[in-house]
Amino acid sequence: MGQSLSVRNLEAWYGSNKTLHGINMEIAKNEVTAIIGPSGCGKSTFIRCINRMHDTLPGAKATGEILLDGANIYANDPVELRRTVGMVFQKPNPFPAMSIFDNVVAGLKLNGMRNKKKLKEAAEKSLNMAALWDEVKDRLGHSGMSLSGGQQQRLCIARALAVEPSVLLMDEPASALDPIATLRIEELVTQLKSSYTIVIVTHNMQQAARIADSTAFFLNGELVEHGATSDIFMTPRDKRTEDYITGRFG
């Protein structure tokens, strides 16, 4: 099952450049939360803080608290955290030297799993959850790079799911895909929320409206407004949210 997230006074920097300013936000478990806002507003930095990938950048730092089911993520090992909080990036990034099968089980092998039967079962389960099994089951030994763009992205989702996280972060997962592949990813996100808490960064307002239970609007590193998606789009409380959604800026 998914886990809830509580973000408390989160601030982030790249060197001397402050990119997040006092973010306070509750993310409900087993829901899809969309993060919207113009380029450079801190969306990607925000989700990279949730799995501590922000920590890995030279000169980057973050302060404040992020609680995962009540436990402060900054008090624990970041490698362990990333088993619980998976990440799917904007561009599909299968490991090029690996087969489809080895791509899916890469994280499990890294965590020490060697039992071939268990690896095979995990690969089939994850590929099924990513709606990809039927398309690749007869060519698991082929390179992950042999798949189409949309299939590669679902392969990356399967790879993230294989280590059984409770939270799945997605940084514009469909922005590099055609409309049909985008629809497949959106359908998949809707199905997965029964098992995972999903936070998705998107530039596509229609996508947020279609798949998100709640939506957060970021601007200049600040959280302007966060609420039920229908409220954000139909009756925003802040004029800046309304201006962005109606296309007056951004």
Domains of the chain: 5-95+166-245 (3.40.50.300)
The pLDDT assigned to 250 comes to 59
- φ, ψ of residue 236 to 5 degrees: the values are -60, 145
Q: Return d(Cα 155, Cα 229) in angstroms, integer.
A: 28
Return the pLDDT at 247. 87
Residue corresponding to tokens 């992950």? 144
The ranges of the chain with pLDDT < 70 are: 250
Q: Give the rounded distance of the alpha carbon of 202 from its chain centre.
A: 10
Tell me which residue of 27, 51, 36, 6 sits closest to 201, measured CA to CA. 36
pLDDT for the residue numbered 248: 82
Structure tokens at 64: 């404040």
pTM score = 0.95
Give the position of tokens 């389960």.
Answer: 125
Strands in the chain per DSSP E: 5-14, 17-27, 32-36, 60-68, 71-72, 85-88, 167-171, 197-201, 214-219, 222-228
Q: Is 216 exposed, middle or buried (0-12, 13-18, 19+ CB in 10 A)?
A: buried
- From residue 131, alpha-carbon distances to 128, 155, 157 in Å are 5, 9, 10
Alpha carbon separation from 158 to 82, 113, 194, 236 (Å, rounded): 15, 17, 16, 35
pLDDT on residue 50: 97
Distances (CA, A) of 241 to 23, 70, 216: 16, 30, 10
Q: Which residue has the tokens 């450079």?
A: 40
Question: What 8-state DSSP symbol labels residue 75?
Answer: G
